[in-house]
Amino acid sequence: MDFLTPTTIIQIRASLGLAGYYAHYVKFFSLIAAPLTNVLKGKVKKERVNWTKECNQAFIELKNRLTEMPVLYASDYNREFIVQTDASDLGIGIVLSQRDDKNEKHPVLYLSKKFTDAQRKYGTTEKECAAIIYAIKKLKYYLDGQHFTIETDHNPLVWLNSNAGTNQRFMRWFLALQPFQYKVVHEAGKKHLNADALSRSEVE
């Protein structure tokens, strides 16, 4: 609900990427999102857009749909948790999910965080690793004692395991993961648009 109102084409695409990931749960999704998708038609650039009353209504309605049933689910400790993470130059995006009886993935909660100035200087792999560490620390009350899956479009943990002894930050990250029972699954970027959108958003 704190997702800021888009002001550029790129920001509209990001918000539609998040909403579109769960579009099959939202009745009349295409009709609701039409004012936003119409802004993207024709020649589009990065400049600010003409944000109409209809665009604002569509954006608010999509946020409402993403934060209520049947999209957002209450956590069930009898089901495996899925931690989806992504990092961009701006920050970290995280979605905690679980699968229902039909094996369909539903979000339990959304998280995002802007990088500090120091973190912005990290390399791509370090940023992706920082996203996973942040997710596990924030979600420890869900994940402690549970087997869970980490889904990422990058696998920085292979890199971390081989570099943990080289400096204190890597060692802290490595040690932070030790109490947890998880497996890492690679998800192609185009299948990872929910966490990706959150990592590129500015949230108040």
Predicted TM-score (pTM) above 0.75: yes
Residue 204 has pLDDT above 60, yes or no: no
What radius of gyration, in Å, describes the C-alpha atoms of the chain? 18
Neighbours of 187 (CB within 10 A): 19
Residue 48 has pLDDT above 80, yes or no: no
- pLDDT tens digit sequence for 136-176: 999 999 999 999 999 988 888 878 888 888 878 889 999 99
- The Cα 148–Cα 79 span in angstroms is 9
Question: Hey, which bits of the chain come out as E strands?
Answer: 81-87, 91-99, 105-114, 147-152, 181-186
**Could you tell me the domains of the chain?**
9-67 (no CATH), 81-186 (3.10.20.370)
At 29, is the pLDDT very low, low, confident or very high (cuts 50, 70, 90)? very high
- pLDDT tens digit sequence for 105-139: 999 999 988 899 999 999 988 999 999 999 999 99
- The Cα 19–Cα 37 span in angstroms is 12
Q: Closest Cα to residue 134, out of 115, 108, 118?
A: 115
Residue 47 has pLDDT above 80, yes or no: no
Q: What rounded mean pLDDT belongs to the chain? A: 88
How large is the average pLDDT for residues 62-86? 93
